[in-house]
Amino acid sequence: MKDLMGKAIWDYHHNEDPEDLQTETSISELDELPVDYLFRTFEEMNALEQKALESSYGKVLDIGAGAGSHSLYLQDIRNLDVVALDISQKSIQVCQIRGIKKAVCENMLDFSGETFDTILLLMNGTGIFGSLAEIDNYLQKLHLLLNDNGQVLIDSTDILYMFDRDEDGGVYIPAEGYYGELDYIVHYKGESEDPIKWLYLDFETLKNAAENNGFNIEKVMQDEDAYLAKLMKK
């Protein structure tokens, strides 16, 4: 794993000639991702992120913490006990340098030993599931990590709007697999990572999976095609 996202975060924080990241998916063209976006303040975050951070309580696990912007807000402004978790070693090192007291480099499926009142998965949090076939594994792990009265706050986007439509409004979607299963590729400073599986979920599909894995679920907020959902143990 080249960890290009982590390299970009490291370069930006240390002012080592950072460049913008480039990302693409199996259904979209190359797009610029400014590195400073990963260091945004609460005021610069979108409405779904702000709602999730304002709704967090107790002991928090921030999965896919990246540069740590969500964790820092919760730790320093909300005074909550936060663990920042990411598979990117350089990202976690930057989290530690930025002052996050608890930052762990580990895959969430391997992480254990603690339980939490709030678990965050933001910036298309369902992406980490990879595919429909893996959803149960991740939801069962979240169930184990969550305290009985805790909450999982997760966002995603229904990307049906990205597909072509016919004159009658019908949507042309791939015949094989679920339309939200994409290959995601990161480019940075002339290097490219191997494609990873990334999952965008419509709310009804997430709802069915959550309920099949011991959760009650509600949609907390909708913002155009994106939404924030809350999962709690049944």
Residue 165 falls inside a structural domain? no
Residue 166 falls inside a structural domain? no
Residue 105 falls inside a structural domain? yes
Measured from the Cβ of residue 11, the count of other Cβ atoms closer than 10 Å reads: 18
Q: Residue 226 belongs to a domain with what CATH number?
A: 3.40.50.150
Residue 203 falls inside a structural domain? yes
- Nearest alpha carbon to residue 80 among 100, 97, 65, 63: 100
pLDDT score recorded for residue 151? 98
CB distance 231 to 154 below 8 Å: yes
- Nearest alpha carbon to residue 88 among 10, 184, 140, 17: 10
Residue 211 falls inside a structural domain? yes
pLDDT score recorded for residue 107? 97
pLDDT score recorded for residue 160? 82
Euclidean distance between CA atoms 145 and 138, whole angstroms = 11
Boundaries of domain holding 75: 4-159+171-233
Measured from the Cβ of residue 204, the count of other Cβ atoms closer than 10 Å reads: 9
Query: What does each of the 234 residues of the chain score in pLDDT, given as a tens digit?
Result: 789 999 999 999 999 999 999 999 988 889 999 999 999 999 999 999 999 999 999 999 999 999 999 999 999 999 999 999 999 999 999 999 999 999 999 999 999 999 999 999 999 999 999 999 999 999 999 999 999 999 999 999 999 877 666 555 555 566 567 889 999 999 999 999 999 999 999 999 999 999 999 999 999 999 999 999 999 999
Structurally, how many domains does the chain consist of? 1
29: which residues sit within 8 A by CB, 6+ positions away? Answer: none
pLDDT score recorded for residue 175? 57
Euclidean distance between CA atoms 33 and 67, whole angstroms = 14
| Continuous H helices in 16-154 | 47-55, 69-72, 89-97, 135-145
